[in-house]
């Protein structure tokens, strides 16, 4: 009897260790991230803070090695939240670079409140993975890993192609012009089309967010887009600073140009001159090159 008992005691630790190993492995990397997000344990109804979503660039378009804007959607749990957002991105060598909100200006969210938070980041890899974290009093309270290509607005970076942002209902002929010039697919512009008023939020709030943009085309034909942009002081200011620093802004004006770019419009100061009126042309042959 003693011999049997001794054998059982000898093998119990081994069996327990075999059961613990897979569980311990799950706490590394993504397993730890899931735990930080506060998935309720059995019998618990308390919701923890979470990082809901992440978008990178202008409607998902950005270039590796250049500044761009990333926006995370953060949600508080059942308790008020005061925390910093940190984004960990790979540099050109694959080493982690950290970008955070100011330490003296933490996010302040009421219970259950959701908020979008933007940070300027510089990604060094074409197909990056970004780790987003919430930090409170020196502790990570929420973490989530995002991989390029797994969501609509976080895709692999543009490589070797110019980026053109179009604020309007459609591409005004950029891709067609590239085809006419016989440019190969890998050299044609990547177009970030802002064709809905809600997508105005994808435009940068800081001029550095335009670093990877070759040019921005702003059409005046869609009044709602123009009104939404005009009413966003931060984005208008970022656009002004980018143009002042050498950014290329192209206006495509139609019948609504006079009202969209009137003297009292915030976009008026982006013009190199003043609109006196519009004139209908029967032929544009003299303007074509």
Q: What is the CATH number of the domain that holds 196?
A: 3.40.50
Residue 229 has pLDDT above 90, yes or no: yes
198 and 102, same structural domain? no
* Residue 273 resides in a domain: yes
Q: Can you give the pLDDT at residue 28? A: 28
**Domain hosting residue 127, numbered range:** 46-147
Answer whether residue 7 is part of any domain: no
Q: State whether 117 and 206 are in the same domain.
A: no
> In this structure, are 270 and 244 located in the same domain?
yes
Residue 256 lies in a domain: yes
Q: Which of 113, 147, 181 is the last residue of a domain?
A: 147
Q: What is the mean pLDDT of residues 181-188?
A: 91
Average pLDDT over residues 157-163: 95
In a domain, 119, yes or no: yes
CATH code, 123: 2.60.40.10
**pLDDT tens digits, 75-121:** 999 999 999 999 999 999 999 999 999 999 999 999 999 999 999 99
Q: Is the pLDDT of residue 39 over 70?
A: no
Same domain, 141 and 241: no
Single out the residue in 147, 173, 204 at which a domain terminates. Answer: 147
Q: Among 47-51, 94-98, 247-251, 268-272, name the one with the lowest average pLDDT.
A: 268-272
Residues 172 and 270 in one domain: yes
- Other beta carbons less than 10 A from residue 133's beta carbon: 22
Residue 266 lies inside a defined structural domain of this protein: yes
Which of 147, 176, 202 is the last residue in one of the domains?
A: 147
φ, ψ (nearest 5 deg) of residue 278 = -120, 145
Whether 43 shows a pLDDT value over 50: the answer reads no
* 9-23, 124-138, 231-245: segment of lowest average pLDDT: 9-23
Residues 242 and 172 in one domain: yes
Percentage with pLDDT > 90 across the chain: 63
Residue 106 lies in a domain: yes
Is there a single domain that holds both residue 124 and residue 193? no
Instruction: Please indicate, yes or no, whether residues 78 and 109 belong to a single structural domain of this protein.
Output: yes
Say what the pLDDT of residue 287 is.
65
Are 245 and 207 in contact by the 8 Å Cβ rule? The answer is: yes
CA nearest neighbour of 194 among 237, 146, 232, 245: 232
Task: Determine contact, residues 172/215, Cβ cutoff 8 Å.
Answer: no
Does 52 share its domain with 141? Answer: yes
pLDDT beyond 60 at 261 = yes
Residue 284 lies in a domain: no
Q: How far is CA 175 from CA 90, 103, 126, 164, in A?
A: 31, 44, 23, 10
pLDDT band at residue 257, thresholds of 50, 70 and 90? confident
Look at the pTM and tell me if it is higher than 0.75.
yes
Half-sphere exposure of 132 (CA within 13 A, CB side): 26
Query: Are both 143 and 168 inside the same structural domain?
Result: no
Region 147-163 average pLDDT: 94
- Cβ proximity of 189 and 179 under 8 Å: no
In terms of C-beta distances under 8 Å and separation of at least 24 residues, what long-range contacts does 102-105 make, across chains too?
Answer: none
């Amino acid at each position: 009897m003693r011999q049997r008992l001794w054998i059982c005691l000898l093998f119990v630790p081994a069996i327990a260790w075999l059961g613990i190993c897979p569980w311990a492995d799950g706490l590394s990397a993504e397993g730890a991230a899931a735990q930080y997000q506060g998935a309720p344990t059995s019998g618990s109804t308390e919701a923890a803070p979470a990082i809901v979503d992440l978008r990178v660039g202008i409607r998902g378009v950005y270039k590796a090695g250049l500044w761009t804007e990333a926006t995370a959607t953060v949600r508080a749990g059942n308790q008020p939240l005061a925390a910093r957002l940190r984004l960990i991105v790979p540099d050109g060598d694959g080493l982690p670079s950290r970008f955070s909100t100011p330490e003296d200006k933490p996010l302040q969210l009421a219970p259950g409140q959701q908020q979008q938070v933007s940070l300027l980041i510089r990604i060094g890899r074409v197909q990056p993975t970004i780790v987003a974290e919430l930090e409170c009093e020196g502790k990570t309270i929420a973490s989530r890993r995002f991989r390029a290509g797994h969501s609509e607005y976080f895709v692999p970076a543009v490589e070797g192609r110019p980026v053109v942002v179009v604020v309007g209902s459609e591409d005004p002929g950029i891709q067609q012009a590239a085809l006419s010039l016989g440019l190969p697919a890998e050299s044609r512009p990547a177009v970030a089309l802002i064709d809905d008023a809600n997508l105005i939020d994808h435009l940068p709030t800081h001029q550095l967010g335009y670093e990877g943009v070759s040019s921005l085309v702003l059409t005046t034909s869609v009044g709602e887009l123009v009104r939404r942009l005009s009413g966003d002081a931060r984005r208008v200011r970022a656009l002004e600073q980018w143009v002042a620093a050498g950014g290329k802004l192209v206006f495509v004006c139609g019948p609504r140009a006079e009202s969209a770019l009137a003297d009292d419009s915030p976009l008026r100061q982006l013009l190199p001159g003043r609109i006196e009126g519009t004139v209908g042309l029967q032929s544009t042959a003299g303007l074509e090159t």
